[in-house]
């Protein structure tokens, strides 16, 4: 029996490549990787050249170097992501990985809890702005001001410029933080109670149509 136990050696496996595993866990595998907490049905990327390509940059950390998946901007160098989460997020850090050339984004602006942002909305003051360095390997982590990003149900990421190319290319975006399940239902009820009159008014307008349909 002793020989068998020795052969299995669980301790040895565990410490093998532990650092890499730990970092991988934070960025994509376990509690802190937020890509699984994105509501993909409602994820938007504005000014993407190929429809649906923006969503592909949110993937497991260990798949960040898959160069076949990327988003490229279309009309100019700007990209804007609207990222709804399936709960409440405390965002702690961001990784942005691009090419080692002028298509790499040079600036990132983060906005919280402004669903369906458009490029017009980016004139607002962001919660935090980052100057980005070229990061072709996905190694640089940009820490957020956690107090500003402690209760995020919707994150918008605006990339206004790159290092001089006509279009911007992003291969991978990593989001690190903690996720808490949302009690959506309660939130909805509170909102209606707080703005009872306009809600009632809306219902009156909609009711006849609803009857007509049914």
Percent of the chain with pLDDT over 90: 68
Split at pLDDT 50, 70, 90, the class of 182 is: confident
Residue 153 belongs to domain with CATH number: 2.60.120.470
Q: Which residue has the tokens 């998946």?
A: 69
In a domain, 201, yes or no: no
CA 27 distance to own-chain centroid: 12
In a domain, 11, yes or no: no
The tally of CA atoms less than 13 A away on the side-chain side of residue 152 is 32
Report the alpha-carbon distance of residue 155 to residue 82 in Å, rounded.
6
Domain that residue 110 falls in: 40-181
The pair of structure tokens assigned to 7 is 């052969």
Total of domains in the chain: 1
Given a cut of 60, whether residue 125 has pLDDT beyond it is: yes
Given a cut of 50, whether residue 201 has pLDDT beyond it is: no
Report the DSSP pairing between strands 44-46 and 128-131.
unpaired
**83-121 pLDDT, tens per residue?**
999 999 999 999 999 999 999 999 999 999 999 999 999
In a domain, 65, yes or no: yes
The pair of structure tokens assigned to 104 is 């790499």
Number of Cβ atoms within 10 Å of the Cβ of 69: 15
In a domain, 165, yes or no: yes
């Amino acid at each position: 029996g002793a020989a068998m136990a020795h052969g299995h050696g669980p301790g040895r496996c565990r410490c093998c490549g532990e650092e890499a595993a730990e970092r991988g866990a934070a960025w994509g595998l376990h509690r802190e990787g937020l890509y699984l907490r994105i509501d993909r049905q409602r994820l938007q990327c504005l000014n993407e050249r190929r429809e649906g390509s923006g969503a592909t940059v949110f993937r497991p950390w260990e798949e960040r170097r898959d160069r076949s998946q990327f988003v490229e901007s279309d009309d100019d160098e700007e990209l804007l992501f609207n990222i709804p989460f399936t709960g409440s997020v405390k965002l702690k850090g961001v990784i942005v990985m691009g090419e080692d050339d002028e298509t790499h984004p040079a600036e990132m602006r983060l906005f919280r809890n402004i669903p369906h942002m458009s490029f017009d909305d980016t004139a607002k003051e962001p919660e935090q702005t980052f100057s980005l360095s070229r990061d072709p390997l996905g190694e640089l982590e940009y820490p957020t001001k956690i107090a500003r990003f402690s209760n995020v149900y919707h994150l918008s990421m605006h990339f206004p410029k790159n290092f001089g190319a006509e279009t911007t290319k992003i291969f991978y975006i990593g989001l690190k933080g903690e996720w808490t399940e949302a009690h959506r239902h309660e939130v909805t009820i509170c909102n209606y109670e707080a703005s009872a009159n306009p809600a009632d008014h809306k219902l009156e307008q909609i009711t006849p149509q609803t009857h007509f349909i049914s």
